[in-house]
Amino acid sequence: MPGTSELVDHHLECIGKLLHMRYLSLRGCDGIYHLPDSLGNLRQLETIDISSTRIIRLPWTIVKLSKLRNICAGAIEDNDDDRLEIKTCQEDLPEVMRNRLCNITCSSISFCVACCAPQLLEKKMGMDVDVNRRDVCTMCCCNILPLLATRQSTRGVAVPRRIRRLKALKTLGIVNITRAKAVLQDIEELTRLRKLGVIGVNKRSSQDLLSAIAGLSCLESLLVQSLGYPGLSSCLDGISSPPANLQSLKLLVQSLGILLYLAA
């Protein structure tokens, strides 16, 4: 149910049994951090909407869904309150403990404690839902720890390789392509795409992006967002023949405040 605040990961354990499902929306369910691999059993599924959830990676089994037409994921706006709270916590630490390695080590220890006693985390975060040990482990290992380790943006999702198998896809986004050259090569083969959104574009990945969209003759809408300095400067200069049917182009540049946060 879209926007259901009390929905958490273990509530999706049996979703793979709903074999005739065609539409799945978890939009706004901010207690969802992970999609189970059993999602690959839903061979009739046509639309997945996980926008504004905590999911940062799609399961590899999604490439089995040959009828899938729409993948809506990620969010354009970050939660500034969450970022401010994290930054404030880091500033309260002794200076020697503010580096990334120390943060990850301390966080890992905290996560182990939280996994052993999920009721402590539930009380600390003011959760009013049925959180169990597996939910806490999923939240820590599939979301928070990878974000701390890679400083990945929460605005997009990582998609698995071989997503080119989803030949029926018409909508795909927002995809994090920061370290995903192979994914761009897969996107190049999704010739039915009409709407594409990507984040993490820089000078290194811009040429691969231009190559990917050059052959998408059905593309009507394109959203491109950078991460970090120097934004989208000169990234699209090499485009010689944009998709003929392109009607909407959105270019988003990371705000100064978030740049400072990522550089910290």
Helix (H, G, I), strand (E, B) or coil at 115: helix
Enumerate the β-bridge partners of residue 171: 70, 195
Q: Please report the pLDDT score of residue 130 as a whole number.
A: 59
Enumerate the β-bridge partners of residue 48: 24, 71
Q: Which of 3-17, 20-34, 82-96 has the lowest average pLDDT?
A: 82-96
Q: Assign 3-state DSSP to the chain and report helix, strand, coil percentages, each to 5.
A: 40, 15, 45
Match 């192979």 to its residue by tokens.
182
Residue 145 has pLDDT above 80, yes or no: no
CATH superfamily, with its number, for domain 9-78+153-263: Ribonuclease Inhibitor (3.80.10.10)
- CATH 3.80.10.10 domain span(s) along the chain: 9-78+153-263
Match 């959180």 to its residue by tokens.
131
Eight-class DSSP state of 79: -
Stretch 132-139: mean pLDDT: 64
pLDDT in tens, 37-88: 999 999 999 999 999 998 988 999 999 999 999 999 986 454 444 444 444 4
Task: Give the global pTM.
Answer: 0.75
What distances in angstroms separate CA 126 from CA 100, 123, 133, 211, 219, one per listed residue? 27, 5, 16, 47, 44
